[in-house]
Chains A and B, each alone.
Chain A
Amino acid sequence: MKLEIRNLSKSFGLQLVLNEISLLLEKVRTLALIGPSGGGKSTLLRVIAGLERPDQGEVWLNDNEVVFEERLLREHRRTVGTVFQSFNLFPHLTAFANVTLPLEKVHQYTPQKARESATEILERFQLMEHAHKQPAQLSGGQRQRIAIARAVAIRPKLLLFDEPTSALDPEMTGEVLDLIEELRQEGRDFVLVTHQMGFAHRVADQIAILSQGRIVECGPPSQVLDQPKEEVTRQFLSRILKY
């Protein structure tokens, strides 16, 4: 994908969360956003997902501008798959119905076709045995994998992960990261907010460090993580890697 961000700003009340961010990535498969908390990573991701309206600036995806107007935004959201930190499955629906709901109601699949697609994807993710369960009966890792299945099932042009493993136990983190890596090997484009440096190093081909609403540094992992140029990046990495 080609991702271009021009002069993007967003504030919540008095707090300036994104401060005139600009970014141009001609050809990127996986972009990882990392940085200290409150640095604006999640907000940037939510702007790209069409969930947050910026105060100013533009987002261009594959040379199409994302127009921040409710009706067009809804169209935009239909073409991207977003996965949140807190899973956000619908608790009143089974795992299976969580996957078929957007297919039927948003993407106009027939019930038959929606069932087929959902079965296909849940089988591929080895989740079919949990299909009939309600989210409350699933482990955190299973829930997050269902959420990923829901996002992938719509055949999005771009997947967005907002700290997909932050609410998980270490052992469940593994199963979710494995799945994301598998998707990456299938050649899907995605943007990922994460605190898992090792994982970012492995899957990302571009890493952007966000701090205090600005992109401090951006480049391939070998450059940004291994030989950071900026003092802010070095400090952040040493804090993270200390433990």
Chain B
Amino acid sequence: MAKVETTSSAVRVWRSFRRCFWQSPEERLLRPAWWVVAINWVLAFFLLSLVAWYAFANLRYNWNWDAVSEYAGFFWRGWFTTIQVSALALVLSTVIGVIAALARRSGFFVLRALSRIYVETLRGTPLLVQISFAFYVIASAIRLENRFVVGVGTLAICYGAYIGEIVRGGIESIGASQLDSARAIGLSRTQTYRYVIFPQAIRVILPGLAGMFANLIKDSSLLSVISIGEFTWSAQQVGGLTYSLFETYIPLAVGYLVLTVPITLWTQWLERRTKFET
């Protein structure tokens, strides 16, 4: 007598319940339903707020949002300065990075060595040290008193080193057969870079570059040590005036997140878009 397979309703309920929270390895390639994703995101936020609530509940702290909120305009000005500094440094560092990458591949050994030294020292030393050194030693030696210029310049030079390596990686990802082909049809070196190397390398470079941009924005906070009125410096000033800590640091964190999260999302979008078959 054949055994009739019956699934009790209890088992079925358990299975659909499990499907809301868990994916077995063989289901890993399937995309979960949107509401499953939504439920789990809410759950994740709920868990995190539990942790936060527990931590703050044990904290003896006099919240004083009123005093801080009086300085809202001050925060905004700092935030906009951070955007300005970051945007300028971002453009400049990209230019410097491309130059460093090209110098590294130059026919002149001196240029190659200089590029190498530049990249290794700037990547190997703390930005904090670089900023202080640039401001108190170099800038004062050449009588450059504009803090903003020194700050943007230092940030751009530091990030130029990282970006140079990303650009170099992108250029070197182009296979020898492509260069052969470019040579065979008679393209000059400059034309080869313009029509063959860069259009292909950009797909490798962009995601890394976007990631660097998020880092650059956060690291612009270090410019507060030379009293540039950017976001972090403003928060520190307000904190000092109102004797508050968390009331200034929480808006600070949110302010940076608002700038970096879109960049991270943009990076992911770029990675998806620039995948191309070879």
Contact = CB atoms under 8 A, between A and B. Distances in A.
B183 interface: yes
Contacts of A49: 184
Interface residues of A, number: 23
Interface stretch (B12-20, B193-201, B218-226): B193-201
Interface stretch (B130-138, B173-181, B206-214): B173-181
A101 B185 contact: yes
A167 B33 CA distance: 44
B27 interface: no
Given A105-B195, A136-B278, A92 B184 contact: no
Contacts of B180: 51, 84, 88
Contact of A77 (B177, B178, B185): B185
Interface in B243-278: 276-278
Interface residues of B, number: 19
Contacts of B187: 102, 105-106
Contact of B200 (A77, A88, A91): A91
A83 to B, nearest CB: 9
6 contacts: A77-B183, A82-B184, A84-B181, A106-B187, A136-B278, A150-B185
Nearest to A89: B181
B181 A91 contact: no
Interface of A: 49, 51, 74-75, 77-78, 82, 84, 86, 88-93, 101-102, 105-106, 134, 136, 150, 154
A92 B183 contact: no
B126 interface: no
Contacts of A91: 200, 276-278
Nearest to A77: B186
Interface in B152-199: 177-178, 180-181, 183-188, 191, 195-196, 199
A94 to B, nearest CB: 12
A89 B182 CA distance: 9
Interface in B79-125: none
Contact of A136 (B191, B195, B199, B276): B276
A78 B276 contact: no
Contacts of A154: 185
Contacts of B183: 51, 77
A74 B187 CA distance: 8
Nearest to A91: B278
A90 B184 contact: no
A63 B199 CA distance: 40
Contacts of A101: 185, 195
A86 B177 contact: yes
Contacts of A92: 199-200, 203, 276
Given A90-B196, A91-B278, A84 B186 contact: no
A102 B186 contact: yes
